[in-house]
Structure formats: C-alpha cells, structure tokens
Amino acid sequence: MVSTALLTTKYKQKNDLPKYSSDNNNIFPIDILQSQNIDKAATLPQTKNTTTATTTSTSSSICRICNTEKPAITDSESGEVICGSCGAVISDKIEEIDHDWFSFSAEEISNKTRTGAPTSLARHDGGLYTVIGLENRDAAGNQIDTTMRSKMEKLRFWDARTQANSFRKRGLRQAFSELSLLKDKLGLSDTIVEKTAYIYRKAQEKRLIRGRTVLGILAAAIYIACRELGVPRTLKDIAMASNSKPNEIAQDYRLLYFKLDLKIPITDPIRCVAMVASKAKVSETTKRHAINMMRNVIAEEKSAGKNPMGLAASVLYLSCLKYEQKEISQTRISNAAGITEVTLRNRCKDLKKSMLSPSIKLN
C-alpha cells in the first residue's frame, strides 16, 4: 500500500514537467519555444534596418502557439507574418506586389515595362490596338529575307486598314487627332481630354454630328468639359485655338446641352481672377486683394447675370488702383480677360456704386 506522501510527491513531479509541442515531427518545450520566439520578435526590427515592419490585423489567422488573435507583424523583406504576442511565425509566404526591376529615369521605365499604354477614350479603338513594327527583323534580331519582307508589308497595310474599317471609327480617328492638337494649344490636362472624348462619343451615338463640322462639335465638347471641371476657358480661347467662329461653337454647345441633357455648373469667377491676373502679370498682393473683393461680390449676390471674366477684370483693375500699380492699364486687363474696355468701365462703375468706396477714380 503506497503512502499518501509518496503519491503527493509523484503528482507534483508530474505537474512540474514541461509541456511539449510537436511541429513537423519535432518536439519542443512550449516555454522554450515561446521565449525564443519573443526574443526573435523583439530583435527583428533592429537586425533589419532596411525594412519597416507594418502592423496589420489578422482576425482570420490565429496563432497556433498562444491561440490569440492579436495584430501580427509583417516583415516584407523576409516574407514572414509573425505573431505579435508570442513571436511565432504564422505564415512565411507573402505575395510580392512590387516590380522585379529598378528604374531611375523615364527612358528606363519605358524600356523595362512589359505592359502597353493604358486604355483611353481619346483613342478611336480605346487604346486596344496592335502595331506591326517597321523594322524588318525577326524575334532574334536577324534580317528577314526578301519574300518574307513583302508579306510583312502586306500585313502592315491590312493591319492599318482594319483599325478603322467603318465610317464611325474613321470619324473618331479624325476627331481625336484634332483633340490631341487642341490639347497642346490650350494646355489641357488628361482628365479634360478624357471627358471631352466621352462627350464626343455620346454625341456620335445620338447622331448629332451629321450635317455639322467635326471640329465645331469637338470644340463645344472641350468647352463643356472645362465648365464641368472648373477650368476657366472661354469660347474665344477655344475658337482661336481651333480656328473656328465663336458663334458656331456656341450653337454646337447649345445643341449638346439640350440633346444630351447635361448639367453644367456656373463658371467660378475666382478662378477667372487668377487666370486674368496671370495673363496681365499682376502682383500677388493685388491678386489676393482682388480675390477677397470677388468673394464679397459673390456674397452680396452682385455677380448674378454678369460675365465672370468681366467681373474678374473689374476687381483686378480696382485692386491695381488701390495699390497704385499705374503700369496696369485698362487695355492690358481687358485684353487679358478677352473683353472690351467699355465692359470693364461699366463693371467697375457698378461695383463702386454697390460695394466699394467712391473715392477710387477710374482713368
């Protein structure tokens, strides 16, 4: 019969034994494994200076050692996800999303990239076209023979013919080639170009281009895109760049406005102030004072029914008079705004009567 003291001693020795964990047929004590993993997690940021460890939440991944769902530490250099509690490696295979090459200039990017240009509405085929190169060489860089060269020339010819095999595609090609020229002349951004191409495609689907010039509809679409995106461009600026008459562009603009059911916002006069000040080469102090004056005009609702370019020119001229910039004349500001001197004087008189002090005299 075993004594009670002996049973108690054996029970304590059994409970004091370390607990083991099996991983890949290897047996490790859990206490030693946790201490080693904690040391590894603590020393990881110091040993790898080139990598910044980012903390992310891993709600779906549960640590197999400590059974917790605490945020894990992701090491992007080694590709390991480490438990933030005990330091165990949860996963060692992270998908790499960066480039596998380095580039230091735009030329190297174009040479090393393996993808083409992005799709664009400003191309007649959306940018999803193929081009047969003009060099008569094969994939290895060797010269092709004469018989194959004649076949390649025929392939180039038919490839160019099939890119615009309908009258609609030919019309889009002509319109978007003109659009690329107007982009350079007017200094338009890619966003405005894409918006213009979208409006032109809608007009073509509605068959609004029949009986009208392609350049007139395109200029009207540019004006609508500039109005929607808040870019100060007048009809006269677009007419000068496209060699068209402002009346024809205005007529095409009204057609697109009603037929396409567009919602075009009002031109912001403050943007017009910045544009006129840049053209007239007005000082920064005068321009800021003119912008504050324009805000007061808008708050008093004095800009309703007025030409925004005329209002911008008038507040700029009054600001020049206040800061005594005598080199800025009425002719200079009116030419920068695209209005007449009579319109400038009339707007200045209206502003002086309504808001400003009558002590300022007009030349």
Q: Are residues 340 and 277 in the same domain?
A: yes
CATH number at residue 210: 1.10.472.10
pLDDT tens string 287-308: 898 899 888 888 888 778 888 8
Q: Which of 229, 259, 289 marks a domain boundary?
A: 259
pLDDT tens string 331-348: 889 888 888 889 889 888
Q: Which segment, 13-22, 44-53, 238-247, 291-300, is predicted with the most confidence on average?
A: 238-247
pLDDT tens string 79-135: 678 887 787 787 776 665 555 556 666 666 666 565 666 778 887 777 666 777 778
Q: Quick check: is 255 in a domain?
A: yes
| Confidence tier at 162 by pLDDT (50, 70, 90) | confident
Q: What is the DSSP string of 185-238?
A: HHT--HHHHHHHHHHHHHHHHTT--TTS-HHHHHHHHHHHHHHHHT----HHHH
| Confidence tier at 354 by pLDDT (50, 70, 90) | confident
pLDDT tens string 246-258: 999 999 999 999 9
pLDDT at 200: 93
Strands 54-56 and 26-29: unpaired
Q: Quick check: is 100 in a domain?
A: no
Would the pLDDT of 78 be above 50? yes
| Parent domain of 327 | 269-354
Proportion of the chain above pLDDT 90, given as a percent: 13
Q: Are residues 275 and 350 in the same domain?
A: yes
Give, for 23, the enclosing helix (H) or strand (E).
strand 20-23
Positive/negative CA dihedral, 313, 322, 270, 222: positive
CB atoms within 10 A of CB 85: 19
Mean pLDDT for all residues in the chain? 76
Please state, in angstroms and rounded to a whole number, the distance separating the CA atoms of residues 339 and 280: 13
Q: Quick check: is 133 in a domain?
A: no
- Which of helix, strand or coil describes residue 91? strand
pLDDT tens string 216-236: 999 999 999 999 988 888 888
Q: Quick check: is 142 in a domain?
A: no
Report CA-CA distances (Å) from 103 to 50, 109, 113, 116, 192: 19, 6, 10, 17, 30
pLDDT at 99: 57
Q: Are residues 285 and 228 in the same domain?
A: no
Q: Are residues 274 and 334 in the same domain?
A: yes
Q: Are residues 194 and 228 in the same domain?
A: yes
Residues 6+ apart with CB under 8 A from 5: none
